[in-house]
Structure 1
């Protein structure tokens, strides 16, 4: 039992640091928010290329730089003209990445679309609405971590993610639903937010599973060692990719109570 909690201290310290930095960046908004998201997206692409093609170190740096600059360009240039920039690094990687090109293509596109969508959410709906999205993903992960280790039980998908259990998976849905009640009670958000929060929680778990499957394919445990107790940026923000892209897709039709939580 002790071994199952051995990474808790490092996870907590790193988690608190990331929360403080994220809160400040979300609050500041503007150029700082855009640059921060571009740097994180670039770091995730760098990790991705190193996972898929460890020998292509120069390609990893080149693709990371291209991804960060493309995302910044999309944020500052006229939107209707700059949207192709979001997908350009993914397409360019087909020539630069020697192996697993389909994985690179899909993950890079998801990274850039998710980062772009989260910045747009902050700028159009306000800080609190972006915090809701982040908190749904965070409580899903935290509840899954503790419930999975405390309760145990049947594994969710042992071939892909050996540590994940059904107890942790369901606990993530419950935690997301409970979090949504805070927004319903305190900020007057509609009750539809409960269902949307649980769906975003599920999407974040799908992002986590997809990243786990990718690492399993290339034989890696973590995407990198950048974040103590968490692995790399991809390990920490894989759920955010799923949740953000899902919200970006369904948001216009989900009746989001944006005005109520600005």
Structure 2
């Protein structure tokens, strides 16, 4: 068992920090710019995640994964441009097309492929309908949940949250993520004048982001891989970095459809 002073637990901090700085810089610029810039980066990330999903399930057939990624990029770009509700049905094309050509894990591919596309569409739609600051809140909660969980898990340690699915995730890191999310909610609430309901909403969003991470961890363990790909030094693939954002996006789509977002569109 490693002790709290064991420096090996911080071995990945350098590469993670460097890669994170680059991604944060690009992501922040696109989020601030909004419009076609945010749409382009969302389409790119979504398409790459579809490719990573395919290669995790079928590592011997990356070309088909690229074709599916291209299809997803085309469909998502068209849907973001048209913003027609009926167009969401087109997300089934890649999900079904990929599933029927696989020899195994067809339902797994279908479910994740559909979820990834809907989440990508949801992020852009959320930015369009509610504005920059609401998207900043969503990203802030997801990032704070990850950062607080990372440091608390390594500094405090303790019992594992779900060792069979996510061996590194601890209860201390999980709870620290909720606390960090609550702090983001308090800051946003004070800034936007939305009241105390933002704190529990931020915690629920944090939980959703953690379940996005857990779902991808379960997928990787099921496929017997450590990372979704090796595209990002110290981080693995884009799926590894944006899994929590997927859970958060799907959660906010549900909230906005069922009960609405506090304050409404800006």
| TM-score exceeds 0.5 | yes
CA distance in 1, matches of 2:73, 2:153: 35
Indicate the SS of the match to 1:156: strand
Q: Which runs of no fewer than 5 residues in structure 2 stay unpaired?
A: 1-5
**Aligned residue number for residue 243 of structure 1:** 248
Deviation of 1:97 after TM superposition, in Å, equals 2.6
**Contact (CA 8 Å) 1:74, 1:86: kept in 2 or not?**
no
Moved over 3 A (4+): 252-255
Determine which of 196, 203, 209 is the counterpart of 2:214: 209
Determine which of 227, 231, 245 is the counterpart of 1:226: 231
**Aligned residue number for residue 168 of structure 2:** 163
CA distance in 2, matches of 1:132, 1:62: 34
Deviation of 1:185 after TM superposition, in Å, equals 1.2
Determine which of 55, 70, 86 is the counterpart of 1:50: 55
- For this pair of structures, how many residues does the alignment match? 261
Deviation of 1:193 after TM superposition, in Å, equals 1.1
CA distance in 1, matches of 2:7, 2:157: 14
**Aligned residue number for residue 87 of structure 2:** 82
Q: Which runs of no fewer than 5 residues in structure 1 stay unpaired?
A: none
**Contact (CA 8 Å) 2:255, 2:261: kept in 1 or not?**
no
**Aligned residue number for residue 185 of structure 2:** 180
Determine which of 60, 67, 72 is the counterpart of 2:65: 60
CA distance in 2, matches of 1:98, 1:57: 14
Deviations 1:107-160 (A, max 9, x none): 111111111010001111111111111111111011110000000000111111
CA distance in 2, matches of 1:51, 1:250: 31
Deviations 1:5-30 (A, max 9, x none): 00101111111111111111011111
> Given the two structures, how large is their TM-score scaled by the length of structure 1?
0.96
Indicate the SS of the match to 1:215: helix
**Aligned residue number for residue 128 of structure 1:** 133
CA distance in 1, matches of 2:55, 2:257: 36
> Given the two structures, how large is their TM-score scaled by the length of structure 2?
0.94
CA distance in 1, matches of 2:16, 2:22: 10
